[in-house]
Chain A
């Protein structure tokens, strides 16, 4: 039973390019979360998605960042026109989405984005 899979593990982009980060949740999980970890800091919530719906994006920067979780395929976090300040580790987590008050979140290994 594979865990949460993220790819690529490392991504290098030049300023102004686009970055696409992919996350495949655990089998049977329908809820996906994205978190960002800046150097020397804890993880910060970005967005919460269910299949084909963005439920809460209160942690997403207002510009250049978008996320989707299509009916088929992985969740994608997209960063347009990257800047050096976007350099960070981006973690994806998933949960079963059974409506329980205290479902566990399972984290992937993260994608380390480096902007040159």
Chain B
């Protein structure tokens, strides 16, 4: 099956710093999503980005599908950004529906 790897696995930032998280995948995909799992375990959709670049406030994401990677940029980080960031690649299931294969995650801690 498809492999999804994320780097770095762990990241500690001082509040206000910028960072880039990377997601590599081993095969062509139909789409890609970025999620933030907060310290309470909730999964929050950040971006749905098969290709190109999207921005939402302090976050932006870029996917280069032909080279099989995606990047998540966090600027001016805040303590509320702490948690685990997952990328997930989307494959269409036989019979319809979408299957997400999640990466290994990046554990981010933002300190004052």
CB within 8 Å of B: which residues of A? 31, 33, 35, 41-45, 48, 50, 55-56, 89, 91, 95, 97, 99, 101-107, 109-110, 112
Contacts and interface: CB of A to CB of B under 8 A. Distances in A.
Interface in B55-112: 86, 88, 90, 92-105
Given A43-B100, A45-B100, A104 B45 contact: yes
Contact of B48 (A48, A99, A104, A110): A104
Question: Secondary structure at chain B's binding surface: helix, strand, loop or mixed?
Answer: strand
Nearest to A106: B45
Interface residues of B, number: 28
Interface of B: 4, 30-31, 33, 35, 41-43, 45, 48, 50, 86, 88, 90, 92-105
Contact of A102 (B35, B90, B102): B90
B30 A56 contact: no
